Amino acid sequence: MPRERRWLWLTGVLVVMILLLVAYTQKTRPWMEKVRAPLVAGVSPALDGLHQVGLWVENQLVTLSSWWSLPKENQALRAELEKLAQLPLQNEELRQENRMLRRLLDLKESLPEDQITLAALVVGRDPDRWFDRVLINRGSRDGVLVGMMVRVTEGLVGRVVQVGSREAEVLLVSSPESGVGGKILRESSRAQGVVRGAAPSRGVLWMTFFDADADVAPGDIVVTSGLGGRFAPGAPIGTVRAVHRDAQGLSLEAEVEPAVDLNRLEWVLLISAEGDHHAP
pTM of the predicted structure, to 2 decimals: 0.65
The pLDDT value recorded for residue 110 is: 82
Over the chain, what HEC string results? CCHHHHHHHHHHHHHHHHHHHHHHHHHHHHHHHHHHHHHHHHHHHHHHHHHHHHHHHHHHHHHHHHHHHHHHHHHHHHHHHHHHHHHHHHHHHHHHHHHHHHHHHHHHHHCCCCCCEEEEEEEEECHHHCCCEEEECCCHHHCCCCCCEEEECCEEEEEEEEECCCCEEEEECCCCCCCEEEEECCCCCCCEEEEEECCCCCCCEEEEECCCCCCCCCCCEEEECCCCCCCCCCCEEEEEEEEEECCCCCCEEEEEEECCCHHHCCEEEEECCCCCCCCC
Domain boundaries, the chain: 1-81, 111-271
Q: Which fold has domain 111-271?
A: Thrombin, subunit H (2.40.10)
User: Residue 43 has what pLDDT?
Assistant: 45
Note the pLDDT of residue 225: 93
Q: What is the pLDDT of residue 185?
A: 96
* pLDDT of 174: 92
The least confident of 14-18, 140-144, 155-159, 207-211 is 14-18
Of the chain, the percentage scoring pLDDT greater than 70 comes to: 66
Q: What is the pLDDT of residues 135-160, one digit of tens each?
A: 999 999 999 999 999 999 999 999 99
The mean predicted confidence, pLDDT, of the chain is 79
pLDDT at 69 over 90: no
pLDDT at 235: 94
